[in-house]
Amino acid sequence: MVVKRGVNDHTIVPMARRFNGTGHIVRFIEFMDVGSSNGWRMDDVVPSAEVVRRIAAELPVEPVDANYFGEVAERWRYRDGSGEIGVISSVTQAFCRTCTRARLSTDGMLYTCLFAASGYDLRALLRGSASDRDIEDAIAGIWRARSDRYSEIRTAETAKSRKIEMSYIGG
């Protein structure tokens, strides 16, 4: 659930309550400035810490360790053992340094960040005579050289910069 202040933040606890005990894990995601079509403003962000506080006031929770390195959701389990929730805090608690995700668009562009302004063209390699090893080496080189830190340095100015629309790269 992408949480946006004044739009759906009043449904945080009802959403948690609805899926509590069902085996389904709800992830509450901070409203992010991906692309330019969603009209993002920092004032619309409900910090994940606030989401957890609201839920814990009615359904006590405790933190849970990550399942794997680079997991983007911070996990919380209900103290009564009835399930868990997760929060994704890409605005208030950036996780750029532990990011393990890349995206490949339908036109063969590799993006090393959800907030990227541009990608790396892999189509020529994929359509050319490059071996699997050549493609693997190219991707590894791109990943090693990446310096994406958008969420860590987010400001009013960076929020205005051109970004690839999230829907285009499968975010």
Token pair belonging to 66? 């990550």
Report the alpha-carbon distance of residue 130 to residue 133 in Å, rounded. Answer: 8
DSSP string covering 88-102: E-TTTS--GGG----
Quote the pLDDT of residue 139: 95
Region of residue 83 (left: phi > 0; alpha: psi -120 to 50; beta: else):
left
If one compares 16 and 100, the residue with the highest pLDDT of the two is: 16
If one compares 76 and 33, the residue with the highest pLDDT of the two is: 76
Give pLDDT tens digits for 108-167. 999 888 777 788 999 999 899 899 999 999 999 999 998 877 666 665 555 566 666 666
Average model confidence (pLDDT) across the chain: 87
Token pair belonging to 38? 């969603």
Is the per-residue pLDDT at 35 higher than 90?
Answer: no
Chain-centroid distance, C-alpha 161? 18
CA-to-CA separations, 34 to 70, 74, 78, 80, 159, in angstroms, rounded: 20, 20, 31, 36, 9
Kindly report the pTM of this predicted structure.
0.77
